[in-house]
Structures are given as structure tokens and as C-alpha cells.
């Protein structure tokens, strides 16, 4: 049996469905989505060696941008990505975070010097994707219940950006308190985030 999946209307919702989201609901959703980025940012903050503010802004912009972008992608794709979001995407996020977290723990135990969590644009991209998987599902839900996406996506992106900045500087405090062990703690955090996404997304 072929199921017809309508496209969102130009007004921003599915035909026959329309509702508005109040500010409190939107902020709660944005904060919930930002938690993974916040935790990963704490891990990143334990390993940034220099130019902390510049790197914090770059990382936060990537995390916030992907949170907003994934929300829009989920909304545009609608029902077509439901199976991807519910099965394949959480597994991919878990694999990425497990690999990066395990590498971080190994290098922390070995006592390597330097910034080991985000060394390249590719590494930042992988983390940004892994921490924004849930935003795909949220964008899908916005489409299904007829909520225009652009303003909520912008709020989600800004909240993720602010939480990421805070996480990076909190990670610096953690590193100052526990030294090299901070990298091991950061790796454990990444693996736990991956498990949460895999088991509960």
C-alpha cells in the first residue's frame, strides 16, 4: 500500500494542520536539544590549549548552526526521514561519539600533550552532526503538527550556541581542577552521550 505524504504548505505547515508554539515550550525544547552540545563542549574545553575564545566561538557556531540546520532539514523532509531518524541516525551518532571518546581516553591515559578532541574541521563536523541528531526528529515533529520552522530553528541554534560557549569555559575549569584526567573524563562524557542517543532516541 502506498501512503501519500503531503508537502508542507507555503504558510509553514502541513495541509489541514496549524498551531503555534508558545515561548516556554520552544525554550524548553531548545535547552533539551542543547544538552548534548553542552556536554561535548565541556569535553572540548578540557583540551583546548590556546586561543580559547576564538576556538570557543568557532565550535559554538558549528554546534548551533547544525542544531538549527538539522531542525530545518527534518521539517523539510518530513515523514520521508522517519525511519532514518528512528534507526540509522542514532547508531551513527553513537559510533562517532564512541570512537572519539575512546581515542580521547586512550590519549589521556598515555599522557599525550596538545589539543586532542577537535584538531580539524572534519573532527568538528563529526561532533556537530553527532550532537544534532535529535534536532532532525524535532524538525519532523514541527512539520507533522504544522508549526512554521524558521523561528524555532533560529532559537534552537542560538540556545545551542550559548550553551556550547558556556560548556567550553566550564571545561576549562574542570581541566584546571583535575589536570590531565580531564581528558579521560571528557572521553567518558562523549561515550555516555552516545549511549544515551543510541538507547533513548
Higher pLDDT, 6 or 94: 94
Task: Give the mean pLDDT of the chain.
Answer: 78
pLDDT at 2 over 70: no
∠64-65-66 over CA atoms, to 5°?
95
pLDDT at 99 over 80: yes
Residue written as grid cell 515533529: 141
Number of residues written out for the chain: 201
Distances (CA, A) of 66 to 81, 153, 168: 17, 10, 17
Residue 3: per-residue pLDDT: 40
30-39, 98-107, 141-150 — which is least confidently predicted?
A: 98-107
142-183 tens-digit pLDDT: 887 788 899 999 999 999 999 999 998 888 887 777 666 767
pLDDT at 24 over 50: yes
Residue 27: per-residue pLDDT: 92
Predicted TM-score of the model (pTM): 0.75
The DSSP symbol for 50 reads S
In the chain, where the domains are located:
23-200
111-131 tens-digit pLDDT: 655 555 566 777 788 889 888
Amino acid at each position: 500500500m502506498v501512503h501519500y505524504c503531503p508537502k508542507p504548505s507555503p504558510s509553514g505547515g502541513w495541509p489541514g494542520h496549524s498551531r503555534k508554539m508558545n515561548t516556554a515550550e520552544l525554550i524548553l525544547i531548545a535547552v533539551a536539544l542543547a544538552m548534548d552540545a553542552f556536554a561535548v563542549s565541556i569535553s572540548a574545553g578540557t583540551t583546548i590549549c590556546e586561543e580559547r575564545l576564538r576556538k570557543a566561538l568557532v565550535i559554538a557556531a558549528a554546534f548551533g548552526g547544525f542544531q538549527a540546520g538539522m531542525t530545518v532539514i527534518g521539517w523539510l523532509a518530513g515523514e520521508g526521514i522517519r525511519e532514518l531518524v528512528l534507526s540509522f541516525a542514532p547508531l551513527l551518532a553513537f559510533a562517532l561519539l564512541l570512537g572519539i571518546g575512546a581515542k580521547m581516553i586512550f590519549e589521556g591515559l598515555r599522557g599525550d600533550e596538545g589539543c586532542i578532541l577537535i584538531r580539524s574541521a572534519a573532527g568538528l563536523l563529526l561532533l556537530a552532526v553527532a550532537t544534532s541528531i535529535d534536532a532532525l526528529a524535532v524538525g519532523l515533529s514541527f512539520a507533522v503538527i504544522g508549526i512554521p520552522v524558521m523561528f524555532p530553528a533560529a532559537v534552537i541554534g542560538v540556545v545551542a550556541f550559548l550553551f556550547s560557549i558556556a560548556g567550553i569555559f566550564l571545561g576549562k575549569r574542570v581541566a584546571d581542577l583535575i589536570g590531565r584526567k580531564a581528558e579521560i573524563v571528557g572521553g567518558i562524557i562523549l561515550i555516555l552521550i552516545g549511549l544515551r542517543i543510541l538507547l533513548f532516541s
